[in-house]
Structure 1
Amino acid sequence: MDTRIGFGWDSHAFKSGVPLRIGGLTLEHSEGLAGHSDGDVLLHAVTDALLGAVAAGDIGSFFPPGDARWKDADSAIFLQLALEELSHAGYRIVNVDITLVLAAPKISPIAGDMRARVAELLDVEMNQVSIKAKTPEGMGLDHVAQCHAVALVERVSEGDGLRSMSAVIESQKQLEDVVDDLLASVHGVQKKRTIEPVYDTEDLT
């Protein structure tokens, strides 16, 4: 059996005035996590773990933080792209093991709900998802949330020509088309219209 392991890590500082999103859930807390997207530190770490398992780059390769399209975006979009990468490479998830490091809020009371939500997003069984939480004692990081994620994946297809999207995208335009398709299907954002010129630009001098 051909198996691979991917590791992901992410960190965001807490910020007032924004909702706290972790593991695809909105949690009751006085502060949220700062980030260009919704700041979901857990989904970001899992996304990088899956991309890393099939050597498809990282989350920033596909969703640059300076791109205005990802302002306040649902991090499920990023995870969906990682799952597409995994499928195109011919692999599926065996299990993911996740460790959150944060002083507050307490994760243990909602760990079951969070595991169920992450399993739903990954399209796996709940017993394939582990979520643990630790406090950053003695590290001086009480105002930061960190997440470590490890993903074990196994090959499910052989010699059928499947390749990672990152291997077949040959230009920025193709990457934008992929992103637009994801926005339309996952986030409900309409694809950008292409305006064709009404004259032949080749004739301009």
Structure 2
Amino acid sequence: MNMRIGYGWDSHAFKAGVPLKIGGVSIEHPEGLAGHSDGDVLLHAITDALLGAVSAGDIGSFFPPGDPRWKGADSAIFLNLALEEIQNAGYRIVNVDTTLVLAAPKISPIAGELREHVAQLLDVKPSAVSIKAKTPEGLNADHVAQAHAVVLLEKVEDPSELKSMSEVIESQKQLEDVVRDLVSQVHGSPLERKKTFDTEDIT
């Protein structure tokens, strides 16, 4: 199979006194998103879409609920792990399409910045990333942010074209050993991955 599609969805409630971070970008807003990590709903949805595209489970498969190591963690860690997984499977990203659903803040004024930053994290061109926003009209969800993400991957026929995705987040070199260790643990014990599947939202 030369092409694969992945879908991811995530949601977090707003909470006072918490910094708001979406797509890896800090946003000025009275409330942030509650979560075990930094609550970055957009990166979580993209991460699950990437993992799902190569049948690698979900965020909870690698970052079990309640693990103190991921308390307040930068969601770029999760995304970087997913990038390593698709690389290990021999695929690369063609494009990513996302939709944020939230009442506030307004995303359109910063959509370009979000798009640029997400593209940088994914090591793709901005033209391969789409970020849209809708209001939750009629859903009674004004105090919640949701994100939907769809990714298209293509098989890389020449292995030399693949590069380590841990190079993508150059400002976070300290995360590389953590990510590599997690990948080696999971791939070294396939049965352990099945045991750690958990549908509880820990991010």
Residue 64 of structure 1 and its aligned partner are, at CA, apart by 1.6
Question: Secondary structure, in 3 states, of the residue corresponding to 2:133?
Answer: strand
Q: Runs of 4 or more off by more than 2 Å in structure 1?
A: 157-160, 164-169, 171-174
**What CA deviation, in whole Å up to 9, does each residue of 1:1-38 have, x standing for no partner?**
71000000000000000100000000010000000000
The answer on 1:152 being equivalent to 2:152 is: yes
Amino acid at match of 1:91: Y
Native 8 Å contact 2:90 2:159 kept in 1: no
Distance change (3 Å), C-alpha of 1:172 and 1:73 = farther
Identity of aligned residues (%): 72
Report the counterpart of residue 197 of structure 2 in structure 1: none
What is the aligned partner in structure 2 of residue 7 from structure 1?
7
The answer as to whether partners of 2:10 and 2:146 remain within 8 angstroms in 1 is yes
Q: CA, structure 1 residues 2+38, in 2 after alignment: closer, same or farther (shift >3 Å)? A: same
TM-score by length of 2: 0.80
> Among residues 185, 188, 194, which one is paired with 1:169 in the alignment?
188
* Cα distance between partner residues in 1 of 2:17 and 2:187: 41
Distance 2:17 2:72 in 1: 13
In structure 1, the partner of 2:109 is 109
Instruction: Give ranges in structure 2 of 5+ residues lacking alignment.
Output: 163-182, 194-203
- Structure with the bigger RCO (C-alpha within 8 Å, sep 6+) is 2
2:66 aligns to what? 66
Give the structure with higher Rg (CA): 1
Equivalent residue letter for 1:73 = A
Inter-partner Cα distance in structure 1 for 2:37 and 2:3: 31
1:17 maps to what in 2? 17
Inter-partner Cα distance in structure 2 for 1:114 and 1:144: 19
Question: 2:98 aligned with 1:79, yes or no?
Answer: no
Match of 2:196 in 1: none
Q: In structure 1, how many angstroms separate the alpha carbons of the residues matched to 2:150 and 2:192? A: 32
CA RMSD in angstroms comes to 2.4
